[in-house]
């Protein structure tokens, strides 16, 4: 085994990665560079710097990735209306390739040949980090302490922390904490009582949305502007991608939008139950479908919907940087060329509903569809032949079956 000289660690400053930092320093006896990504998790990042400094880290990287996260990862994914297993908006899945990209970039910069992450050996995130690193630089060694050390539970983790004088937040003493992952797109909560899918999630697991029952009794109507498939404004005000998602998170959270209690199938083979809160993402998915409804051709829209589950599964399984994801992305992006216009969405007690859509590029023809007298050449007799031909094989089939 060649000696590892330097490791770049994906470091949140939380309990797990603080322990991992110590463990890497002890186990490999080499310099560890920490990388902390600001993805809009809503946590202060300066404490992470202080903690890394206390552990003797010389090279501490804290990088604001919010705009890149939303413009280069979240929005491309939303163009596809991606949902895993019909419901999950992929908030954690889509953040991992971005973190991996920067881990690799920093490794290049500082001349490290190894990166480390704090994902456990049972989840999807380890797969996502590592497949992304493989695709970006096959020469980089990946260290996954959770799969290497003999700490096997949250309790043992706390013991290790105590032994090494790593401060344990008071609420994390004794009872193991929830496993939470948050960024601008979502908050995901797993573990503890949630591990029993029969248990109703207690109210305190929800962090960024109110209970729809407690939401305002008056609906709020907002207008979202789209250009080529991406949202660009709220109520006529142009915003950067991260600012726009932040704004919608605030609005959606207040109206209790985007809560999801889901049992999903992890890539590595087990079922897990989690609580998701995706307020802004849920509004955007609804609004995007609204603008697509008038700007996409039927066959184009249906083709998109056919490939969507496959595309979502690729992202869920960690294949963001794989050729097949890029191929599907090219198809999806091309479909968005005319997806521009404005959508009005009503936010009310947990629901986001489209109530109006307009576009200079609309394919909608009131003249064509109207129940009234119309100027457009549409011959009703054509429909008769159309139905007769489509019914032909059904008649043969029914006759054969003796009907």
Q: Which residues are catalytic?
A: 16, 96, 125, 179
Under rule CB under 6 A, residue 292 binds ligand ARG: no
Under rule CB under 6 A, residue 239 binds ligand ARG: no
Listed ranges 34-42, 62-70, 177-185, 277-285: which one lies at the site for ligand ARG (CB under 6 A): 177-185
Q: Contact with ligand ARG (CB under 6 A): which of 10, 17, 126, 189?
A: 189
CB of 191 to ligand ARG, least distance (A): 7
Listed ranges 64-72, 186-194, 279-287, 324-332: which one lies at the site for ligand ARG (CB under 6 A): 186-194
Residue whose C-alpha is closest to residue 329's, from 344, 342, 310:
310
User: Closer to ligand ARG at the Cβ: 269 or 402?
Assistant: 269
Strands 60-64 and 31-38: parallel
Question: How far is residue 304's CA from residue 295's CA, in Å, rounded to a whole number?
Answer: 13
Question: How far is residue 24's CA from residue 114's CA, in Å, rounded to a whole number?
Answer: 11
Under rule CB under 6 A, residue 41 binds ligand ARG: no
CB of 130 to ligand ARG, least distance (A): 14
Q: Contact with ligand ARG (CB under 6 A): which of 188, 209, 249, 286?
A: 188
CB of 271 to ligand ARG, least distance (A): 11
CB 94 within 8 A of CB 68: no
User: Closer to ligand ARG at the Cβ: 98 or 222?
Assistant: 98
Site string for ligand ARG, 119-148 (x = CB under 6 A): -----xx-----------------------
Q: Contact with ligand ARG (CB under 6 A): which of 241, 274, 279, 280?
A: 274
Listed ranges 156-164, 178-186, 208-216, 281-289: which one lies at the site for ligand ARG (CB under 6 A): 178-186
CB of 11 to ligand ARG, least distance (A): 16
Under rule CB under 6 A, residue 36 binds ligand ARG: no
Site string for ligand ARG, 73-112 (x = CB under 6 A): -------------------xx-------------------
Burial class for 69, CB neighbours closer than 10 Å (0-12, 13-18, 19+): buried
Q: Contact with ligand ARG (CB under 6 A): which of 180, 239, 243, 331?
A: 180
Buried b vs exposed e over 175-194: b needs ≥16 C-beta within 10 Å?
eebbbebbbbbbbbbbebeb
Radius of gyration of the chain (CA): 25
Under rule CB under 6 A, residue 10 binds ligand ARG: no
Name the token pair of 268.
């590595």
Burial class for 306, CB neighbours closer than 10 Å (0-12, 13-18, 19+): exposed
Residue whose C-alpha is closest to residue 12's, from 70, 60, 84:
60
Q: Contact with ligand ARG (CB under 6 A): which of 16, 181, 277, 313?
A: 181
Phi, psi (degrees; rounded to nearest 5) at 66? -60, -45
CB of 267 to ligand ARG, least distance (A): 8
CB 54 within 8 A of CB 145: no
Question: How far is residue 38's CA from residue 87's CA, in Å, rounded to a whole number?
Answer: 26
CB 107 within 8 A of CB 140: yes
Listed ranges 184-192, 244-252, 372-380, 381-389: which one lies at the site for ligand ARG (CB under 6 A): 184-192
Q: What residues contact residue 58 under an 8 Å CB cut-off, 6+ apart? A: 31, 33
Name the token pair of 60.
């501490």
Question: How far is residue 215's CA from residue 346's CA, in Å, rounded to a whole number?
Answer: 13
Under rule CB under 6 A, residue 282 binds ligand ARG: no
- The footprint of ligand ARG on this chain (CB under 6 A) covers a number of residues equal to 12
Listed ranges 26-34, 187-195, 368-376, 395-403: which one lies at the site for ligand ARG (CB under 6 A): 187-195
Under rule CB under 6 A, residue 190 binds ligand ARG: yes
Taking residue 197's Cβ as centre, other Cβ atoms within 10 Å add up to 11
Question: How far is residue 30's CA from residue 143's CA, in Å, rounded to a whole number?
Answer: 13
DSSP run (H or E) holding 346: strand 341-348
Residue whose C-alpha is closest to residue 77's, from 328, 337, 351:
328
Under rule CB under 6 A, residue 340 binds ligand ARG: no
CB of 83 to ligand ARG, least distance (A): 12
Q: Which residues bind ligand ARG (CB under 6 A)?
A: 92-93, 124-125, 179-181, 188-190, 272, 274
């Amino acid at each position: 085994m060649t000696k590892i000289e330097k490791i770049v660690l994906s470091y949140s400053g939380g309990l797990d990665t603080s322990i991992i930092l110590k463990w890497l320093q002890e186990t490999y006896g080499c310099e560890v560079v920490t990388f902390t990504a600001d993805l809009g998790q809503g946590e202060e990042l300066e404490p992470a710097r202080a903690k890394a400094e206390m552990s003797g880290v010389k090279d501490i990287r804290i990088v604001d990735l919010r705009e890149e996260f939303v413009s280069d990862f979240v929005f491309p994914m939303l163009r596809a209306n991606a949902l895993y297993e019909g419901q999950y908006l992929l908030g954690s899945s889509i953040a991992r390739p971005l973190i991996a990209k920067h881990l690799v970039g920093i490794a290049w910069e500082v001349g490290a040949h190894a990166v480390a992450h704090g994902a456990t050996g049972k989840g999807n995130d380890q797969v996502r980090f590592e497949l992304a690193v493989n695709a970006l630089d096959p020469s980089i060694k990946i260290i996954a302490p959770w799969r290497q050390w003999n700490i096997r539970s949250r309790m043992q983790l706390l013991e290790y922390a105590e032994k090494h004088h790593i401060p344990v937040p008071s609420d994390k003493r004794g009872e193991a904490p929830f496993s939470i992952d948050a960024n601008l797109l979502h908050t995901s909560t797993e573990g503890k009582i949630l591990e029993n899918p029969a248990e109703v999630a207690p109210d305190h697991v929800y962090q960024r949305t109110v209970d729809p029952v407690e939401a305002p009794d008056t609906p709020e109507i907002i207008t979202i502007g789209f250009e080529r498939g991406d949202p660009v404004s709220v109520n006529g005000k142009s915003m950067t991608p991260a600012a726009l998602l932040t704004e919608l998170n605030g609005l959606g959270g207040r109206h209790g939008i985007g809560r999801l209690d889901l049992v999903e199938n992890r890539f590595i083979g087990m079922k897990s139950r989690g609580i998701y809160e995706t307020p802004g993402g849920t509004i955007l998915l609804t609004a995007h479908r609204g603008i697509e409804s008038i700007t996409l051709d039927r066959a184009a829209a249906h083709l998109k919907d056919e490939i969507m589950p496959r595309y979502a599964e690729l992202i869920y399984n960690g294949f963001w940087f794989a050729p097949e994801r890029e191929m599907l992305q090219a198809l999806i992006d091309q479909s968005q060329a005319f997806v521009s216009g404005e959508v009005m969405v009503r936010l009310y007690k947990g629901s986001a509903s489209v109530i109006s859509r307009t576009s200079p590029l609309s394919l909608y023809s009131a003249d064509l569809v109207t129940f009234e007298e119309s100027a457009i050449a549409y011959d009703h007799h054509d429909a008769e032949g159309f139905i007769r031909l489509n019914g032909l094989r059904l008649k043969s089939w029914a006759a054969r079956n003796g009907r």
